[in-house]
Every structure is written in structure tokens, then in C-alpha cells.
């Protein structure tokens, strides 16, 4: 018996989510009285995983697996789970993890709970708490299969440092036919993605037009944040679809979400409610967003945002 965790890296460097799922896996392993093994693909330095409770690392170095392929990665993780006799497999909520987890679920005949936000409520029976109804509720799910897969929501568990260190070994699984070939990738490397961001700055129709997004981008830059927008803003073509957040757009589970000129419609709130702290800047004190926010500024974004940028710059300079 053991716990296996898939720790994601990008260009060989671990993502923050990798350390979060490692911390989570450690917690589960402690409850079960067992060890944690991490599976990594083409990672350059696996030592950092030890800090987050990993006992052993299976590192796969294979040119065929240089770029992500859901089916191939799922097959490899399956082989690692079988080798380690894993009864629990932990993955993150990144787009890639969510892509491969259902394939892994079929491969291991393992029940999968996605969007899990806390350590298991109990391990026998095995119950976890997850978000459902697009953050309008939580669901307690019992996983009844022998092997269990947990998809941990980003920024829900946090990082837990230990004094441990991880041993590492090369793992050479068999790789199936890839089935899918990546032709081209179009990715902004200089920008924080909404999925990885700890802070998200979002603009709504209150900003009047795409020409006014400069201050939104500047605010995001000062904070090291990702930019997002409400649905009408992307429908109007002011911003790309990839920035649309909400119930029918991307979900946001950041530590801080700043909404500028967004009214706070139920579909918008549903998608961003998992964020820990919410700030709203809106001229209308009756805007529904004020009921969902932690901090609010009733004021004109065209005055408030530039001032806030200056204040934050001063603050950062003092830090």
C-alpha cells in the first residue's frame, strides 16, 4: 500500500500545484500510515519534492513524453500505481491533470473525485469534500472502489513543509501509441495563467471598451497577477475567450480576485467564488458583487485603479 502523486512540471521545473498535491498526498499517507511516491516526467531536479513530504520519486525520462499526452501519461501513471501498489492516487486540478484523470480512472478501475478542497473527511469509508454546482454547494463523496483518485483544487490545501528528503529512481514504463500529435502551441510565456495565478485581476463591461484595459494590465503586472474578464467582455471581443471566467468560462480559485466594473451576476460569481478574498471596485453601491466581496470600493474605476496602482507600487517598493 502507498500513496502516489503526479507532480507536474513545466520545462523541467515543478509547478506550485505540484508542491500542493505533494503536501496533500503526504497528509493522506500519514492518515493511512504509509509512504508517498511521486511520479514526474522529465524533471531536472526532484530534491524539492522531499520538502513537501515525498519519500520516493519515480522520474520518467523519455523523449516521447517531452510534451504532454493525456493517454500516454495516464498509462505511465497507471504502471507506476501498480508498481507501488498505490491505493490512492493524487492529481491536481490543472487542465492537464483533469484531462488525464478520467483515463487513469478507467485504467485503474478507480473511482475519481475531482475538485476536492480538503483532506479526506475519513479514510474508512473514504470520504472527501468537493465543490459542486459551480461553487454554489459542496458535496461529500464516498469513493468505494479499491483504488481511489483525488483531484485537488488549486490553492485549497496549501503547502506544508516537512524536514524530509526524497530518494529518486529512474522509471522506464512502456509507452503506448500516442494517438494525438501536437502540431503547434500558442502560449504566452511572459504572462501568468489564470489557472496558476495566486492573484487574478478581472474587468467587466464597466470598463467601457478594450482601449481601457491598459490599467487592468498594469495593476496585474504590479501584483504578478493574471488578467481575466466577464463573459460579455469576451463576447464583445474586447478580450480573448481564454480570459472569460465564470460558470461557463474558466473557474478561478485564486487567493485574491479583484473585480473591476463587474456587476456580480450569479453566473459570474459561481465561477470565481472559490477565491479566498474578493475585492470589488464599482460605481454602483447596489451592485450584487458587494454581497459576495470581502473588500469593496464604491467609486469610478478610472479614478480608483490608477491610484491603487500607485499605492501598490509604493507598498512594493517598501517591502
Ligand X SMILES: Cc1cc2nc3c(=O)[nH]c(=O)nc-3n(C[C@H](O)[C@H](O)[C@H](O)COP(=O)(O)OP(=O)(O)OC[C@H]3O[C@@H](n4cnc5c(N)ncnc54)[C@H](O)[C@@H]3O)c2cc1C
Cα separation, 181 vs 193, in Å, equals 23
Cβ neighbour number for residue 278 with a 10 Å cutoff? 24
Figure out which of the listed residues 136, 162, 165, 167 binds other proteins, where binding follows CB under 8 A.
Answer: 136
Q: List, as own/partner pairs, every contact residues 138-142 make where C-beta atoms lie below 8 angstroms and the sequence separation is at least 24, other chains included.
A: 141/113
Contact status: 309 vs ligand X (CB under 6 A): no
d(CA 301, CA 304): 5
Residue 191, judged by CB atoms within 10 A of its CB (0-12, 13-18, 19+), counts as middle
Is the CB of 43 or the CB of 281 nearer to ligand X?
281
Instruction: List the single partner that 282 binds among ligand X, other proteins, none, CB under 5 to 8 Å by kind.
Output: ligand X
Restricting to residues 246-275, which ones interact with ligand X according to CB under 6 A?
246-249, 261-263, 265, 267-268, 271
Q: Which is nearer to other proteins, 137 or 163 (CB)?
A: 137
Binding of residue 302 to ligand X (CB under 6 A): yes
Binding partner of 306, given ligand X, other proteins, none, CB within 5-8 angstroms per partner class? none
Residue 48 CB contacts under 8 Å (≥ 6 apart), including other chains: 14, 19
Binding mask 210-249 for other proteins (x = CB under 8 A): -------------x-----------x-----xx-x--xxx
Min separation Cβ 227 and other proteins, Å: 12
Instruction: Please give the Cα distance from 130 to 247 (Å, whole number).
Output: 16
Torsion of CA 22, 24, 27, 29, to 10 degrees: -60
By beta-carbon proximity to ligand X, the closer residue of 80 and 259 is 259
Q: Is residue 202 at the binding interface for ligand X, with CB under 6 A as the rule?
A: no
Candidates 300, 307, 315, 316: give the one binding ligand X (CB under 6 A). Answer: 300
- Least distance from C-beta 301 to ligand X, angstroms? 3
Amino acid at each position: 500500500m502507498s500513496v502516489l502523486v503526479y507532480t507536474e512540471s513545466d520545462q523541467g521545473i515543478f509547478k506550485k500545484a505540484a508542491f500542493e498535491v505533494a503536501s496533500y498526498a503526504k497528509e493522506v499517507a500519514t492518515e493511512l500510515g504509509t509512504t508517498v511516491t511521486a511520479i514526474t516526467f522529465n524533471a531536472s531536479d526532484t530534491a524539492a519534492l522531499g520538502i513537501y513530504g515525498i519519500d520516493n520519486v519515480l522520474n520518467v525520462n523519455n523523449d516521447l513524453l517531452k510534451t504532454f499526452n493525456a493517454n500516454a501519461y495516464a498509462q505511465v501513471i497507471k504502471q507506476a500505481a501498480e508498481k507501488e501498489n498505490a491505493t490512492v492516487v493524487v492529481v491536481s486540478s490543472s487542465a492537464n491533470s483533469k484531462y488525464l484523470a478520467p483515463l487513469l480512472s478507467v485504467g485503474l478501475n478507480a473511482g475519481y473525485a475531482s475538485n476536492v478542497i480538503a483532506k479526506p473527511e475519513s479514510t474508512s469509508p473514504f470520504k472527501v469534500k468537493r465543490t459542486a454546482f459551480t461553487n454554489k454547494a459542496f458535496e461529500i463523496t464516498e469513493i468505494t472502489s479499491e483504488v481511489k483518485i483525488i483531484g485537488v483544487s488549486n490553492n485549497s490545501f496549501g503547502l506544508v513543509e516537512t524536514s524530509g528528503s526524497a530518494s529518486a529512481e529512474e522509471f522506464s514504463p512502456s509507452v503506448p501509441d500516442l494517438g494525438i500529435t501536437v502540431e503547434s502551441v500558442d502560449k504566452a510565456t511572459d504572462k501568468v495563467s489564470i489557472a496558476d495565478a495566486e492573484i487574478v485581476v478581472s474587468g467587466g463591461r464597466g470598463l467601457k471598451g478594450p482601449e481601457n484595459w491598459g490599467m487592468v494590465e498594469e495593476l496585474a503586472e504590479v501584483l504578478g497577477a493574471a488578467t481575466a474578464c466577464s463573459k460579455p467582455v469576451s463576447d464583445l471581443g474586447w478580450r480573448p475567450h481564454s480570459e472569460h471566467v465564470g460558470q461557463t468560462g474558466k473557474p478561478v480559485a485564486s487567493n485574491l480576485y479583484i473585480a473591476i466594473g463587474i456587476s456580480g451576476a450569479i453566473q459570474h460569481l459561481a465561477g470565481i467564488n472559490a477565491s479566498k478574498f474578493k475585492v470589488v471596485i464599482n460605481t454602483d453601491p447596489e451592485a450584487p458583487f458587494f454581497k459576495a466581496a470581502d473588500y469593496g470600493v464604491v467609486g469610478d474605476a478610472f479614478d480608483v485603479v490608477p491610484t491603487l496602482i500607485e499605492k501598490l507600487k509604493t507598498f512594493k517598493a517598501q517591502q
